[in-house]
Structure 1
């Protein structure tokens, strides 16, 4: 490990290795994706998908390699024992930083099918990476503001249609459908605006995973409820590249998905919508308590940044 080197050197090495990895794997992936587009027969196109996935897994493996080389991170991971590589999983995690994505890929690569993230439409414009995400069938979601929908009511539900179409495609090959239930990264400003009934989490947005469950029918083996904790405080991506993330805690809890959820209509059934939201709320209450316990088990670690901020606001009367 090179973490003993001065921070600027570690940052430079990690950044260069990250970029080299992108420049190596992206062209390979895109060549095979282009071949897939050119094949006129759907049955033959589908045969390219496993190869694209193997390329992506090689890419992630190399990411783990440069992370191990440049980082001195203690990984505390529990709950991977009974997972299946050839299964279907709905994966959910709390979201605090862009580092979460590297953490999830590092922990689950080769243990469950490749994680397919729901991405904002704007991310397709990211040089090289946007094309790679498209090649891997990552669904791109276009979010509309409340004001926009009031002026253009015909666009209501279009993002959920994207969810449904993507999940129908996922049902053909073992897939892990990844969703950050909060819909955005945790920040103190968002926390203060929402005033959620949790200490470490924003409010869950249930619609996306409700539609995923409906579209996939009974394909999902289970829900993987992932909790990510950074005991030394939420890191930025630059913190990670510079080797400042010394400790990552990941807990994997496999939860059953109620059998009748796949046959109910979240959008048009108010009773089911309330039931589903209560289910996600309960998951979030348990996750919030787990985060508190994990932080409380580290009495000699610096107080979690979120804990500091929350305590300050509690003293102010929040």
Structure 2
């Protein structure tokens, strides 16, 4: 079973790291807001040419500073294998298992500068996080609004609306090379969630195929393959605060490319029962292989 980290960090380093992150965010946030305002004022097509590239550059510098801190202050040891395809003029559909907020920085460390800036599926509520939430909006991150079963029972007209919003967000990416990142589990792994779901996987929660299917259908043949990333923490799952304190020391990343069946982009995931079942079975097989890989890595 995947376990939490037992590595120890330094409280002083955590405070210093927090102040450095705050300074980095506020400084670059000043420029970010200026170009967000420009984006709002300008016509959409003009903003794509003048404002959007600068906003992307600001976000790249922000992430790059964090990665520099990880690699030169925390001195994380990386074991990355399988990164065989890269290119800033290609479209990438990336999926990974989700255990911690640290996963996001692991993925940026793996891909920053090698592929178009990663754009994650984000919960709608996170759009209101100061500076960062507005940056996600300006970068056209696809926001997802998930409705609970209880809410849908009272408002059945909302059924499927969350996936429709996802598809509309992904359609924007057809105009320029993009890396779309999706955590298929939809939430971070914990033992309590694992037990509640009665997940058939030892190291993973149950995958949700809907968001992935809608990204494939929105962008058609732009994606030549699914980039399947498996993240493993040999010292246990680090928390974000643990990382800030320097307790995150080692990370294993395994990457493989899975061909996407061509007909997945041609049907309707919502209305075609046979297609929906086929995509779900395809995702389940991916998850079985990922679970086995995590078992192998944990046994080393």
TM-score scaled by length of structure 1: 0.89
Distance 2:180 2:152 in 1: 27
Kept after mapping to 2: 8 A contact 1:17/1:66:
no
Task: State yes or no: 1:184 paired with 2:187.
Answer: yes
Map of 2:158 onto structure 1? 155
Q: 1:111-122 residue pairs with structure 2 within 5 A?
A: 111-122=114-125
1:81-134 CA-to-partner distances (Å, cap 9, x unmatched) read: 322222101110000001111111121101111111111111112122111111
Partner of 1:175: 178
Structure 2: runs of 5 or more not aligned: 1-8
Q: Which residue of 2 aligns with 1:105?
A: 108
CA shift for structure 1 position 263 = 0.3
Q: Which has the higher relative contact order, 1 or 2, with Cα contacts under 8 A spaced 6 or more apart?
A: 2
Q: Which residue of 1 aligns with 2:133?
A: 130
- 3-state SS of the aligned residue for 1:90? strand
Is 1:256–2:255 an aligned residue pair?
Answer: no
- Which has the larger Rg? 1
Q: Contact between 1:8 and 1:242, CA under 8 Å: does it hold in 2?
A: yes
2:228 corresponds to which of 206, 225, 228: 225
Displacement of 1:50 in angstroms is 2.3
In structure 2, the residue matched to 1:16 is 19
1:69 Cα deviation from its structure 2 partner: 3.0
Gaps of 5+ in 1: 1-5, 298-318
Q: How many residues align?
A: 291
Residue deviations 1:260-286 (CA, integer Å, cap 9, x gap)? 100011111111111111100000011
CA distance in 1 between partners of 2:257 and 2:53 (Å): 25
Tell me the C-alpha RMSD between the 2 structures: 1.3
Aligned to 1:45: 47
TM-score w.r.t. the length of structure 2 is 0.94
8 Å contact 1:118–1:140 — kept in the other structure?
A: yes
**Aligned to 1:218, what secondary structure does the other structure show?**
helix
In 2: Cα distance, 1:132 partner to 1:26 partner: 8
Kept in 2: contact 1:13–1:70 (CA 8 A): no
- 8 Å CA contact retained: 2:143, 2:169: no
> Aligned match of 1:289 in 280, 289, 292?
292
